[in-house]
């Protein structure tokens, strides 16, 4: 079984989580055969190790971690890799992969551009 983890920053304000939760629900509807979970870097729960531990209790063979960040800054390039290395060592039976941040996707940027243009064209 493959699972997907949406990895986000986290914030003090609970409203921060809303779009990530909507994204998770969207993905659950579109890939009903795979668990789709959230994990936060800081300030919010669950954290990545917790989410991976829960998935490891199931028959999970592969986990794709998708950083829901625009930029590949320090969090994605420096904080995430050692966390993933440790998780790989703890769960050698699970193929844990890390995707590029969603901001690296030309299609995501194109969708943001369309949203900006729609705002600019509103009377």
Nearer to its own copies, 86 or 97 (CB): 97
- 8 touches its own copies by CB under 8 A: yes
Query: In a 10 Å sphere around its CB, with 0-12 CB exposed, 13-18 middle and 19+ buried, how is residue 57 labelled?
Result: exposed
HSE value, Cβ hemisphere, 13 Å, CA-based, for 77: 5
Q: Which helix (H) or strand (E) holds 38?
A: strand 36-40
Task: Fill in the per-residue mask, 51 to 90: x = in contact with its own copies (CB under 8 A), - = not in contact.
Answer: -------------x-x-x-xxxxxx-xx------------
Considering the complex, state which of residue 88 and residue 103 has its C-beta at the smaller distance from its own copies.
103
Look up residue 39 and give its two tokens: 């994990």
Query: Which H or E run includes 40?
Result: strand 36-40
CA distances, 3 to each of 11, 31, 95 (Å)? 24, 10, 10
Binding of its own copies at residue 109 (CB under 8 A)?
yes
Interface with its own copies, residue 22, by CB under 8 A: yes
> Which of these segments, 8-16, 50-58, 83-91, binds its own copies (CB under 8 A)?
8-16
Judged by the rule CB under 8 A, the positions of this chain that interact with its own copies are 2, 4, 6, 8, 11-13, 15-20, 22-23, 26-27, 30-31, 34, 64, 66, 68, 70-75, 77-78, 97, 99, 101-105, 107-117, 119-120
């Amino acid at each position: 079984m493959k699972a997907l983890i949406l990895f986000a920053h986290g914030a003090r304000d609970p409203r921060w989580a809303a779009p990530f939760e909507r994204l998770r629900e969207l993905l659950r509807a579109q890939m009903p055969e795979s668990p789709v979970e959230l994990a936060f870097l800081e300030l919010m729960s669950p954290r990545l190790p917790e989410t991976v531990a829960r998935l490891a209790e199931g028959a999970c063979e592969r986990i794709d971690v998708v950083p829901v960040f625009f930029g590949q800054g320090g969090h994605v390039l420096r904080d995430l890799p050692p966390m993933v290395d440790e998780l790989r060592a703890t769960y050698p039976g699970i193929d844990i992969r890390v995707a590029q941040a969603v901001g690296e996707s030309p299609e995501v940027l194109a969708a943001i551009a369309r949203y900006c243009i729609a705002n600019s064209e509103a009377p």
